[in-house]
Amino acid sequence: MKVGLLGGTFDPIHLGHLRAAENVREALSLDRVAFVPARTPPHRKGPRATPLDRYTMVTVATSGHPSFSASDAELLREGPSYTVDTVSEWLREHPGDSVVLIVGADTYPEMTTWKEPERLFALCSIAVAARPGQTVADLAGAPRAEIVAGPGLPISSTEIRQRVASGCSIRYLVPDGVADYIAKRGLYR
């Protein structure tokens, strides 16, 4: 099976994440895309929502797509959420799978600073999802990666958290179920 892994804090997951995953799934003929919320991101400040809340939002957001699913792989592991460990564990548990790691164009340049980047590049292929307004030409020369363009949505989790904190609507930025979950749990206020 050809599986895409899309990791992140997903604090919260939004329609931009889902659209980028769909662009890569379609362009690379992936059988499945697993969204992997990080328990403890090693390269950024910790998420505002708990790991369980973020996993639940990812589950809600991906439930309507037959090829999307949520993975708790990083939530079950203590310590920092290193991608190389996640990919290695995935391949150990799914030995027949071919893994495509999906990253955003903003994340790709920093991958050489990640834990064991050479090992990571040897374990999987990399798909770089172009952000809205970027062209494939903007990312030309990205070694070891397939650049995937497609319709994107200029949405950020930071913007969504700010909108919630100021009492503004987040409808049509996140799936309805995620907006409802955020409201019911009082997240990001």
Q: Where are the domains of the chain?
A: 2-154
- Contact between 129 and 105 under an 8 Å Cβ cutoff? The reply is yes
Helix (H) or strand (E) holding 65: none
Question: What is the enclosing helix (H) or strand (E) of 147?
Answer: strand 145-148
Distance CA 8, CA 122 (A): 21
User: In this structure, what token pair is assigned to residue 6?
Assistant: 């899309």
- φ/ψ bin of 183: left (φ > 0), alpha (ψ from -120 to 50), beta (otherwise): alpha
Q: Regarding the domain delimited by 2-154, which CATH topology (the fold level of the hierarchy) does it fall under?
A: Rossmann fold (3.40.50)
Residue with tokens 């589950």: 59
Burial grade of 21 (CB within 10 A; 0-12, 13-18, 19 or more): buried
Query: What gap in Å lies between CA 6 and CA 24, rounded to an integer?
Result: 10
End-to-end Cα spacing for the chain = 41
- 76 DSSP β-pair partners: none
Counting Cα atoms < 13 Å in the Cβ hemisphere of 176 gives 1
Structure-block tokens of residue 40? 């403890």
Tell me the pLDDT of the chain (189 aa) as tens digits: 999 999 999 999 999 999 999 999 999 999 999 999 999 988 778 899 999 999 999 999 999 999 999 999 999 999 999 999 999 999 999 999 999 999 998 888 889 899 999 999 999 999 999 887 765 555 555 567 898 988 999 999 999 999 999 999 999 999 999 999 999 999 999
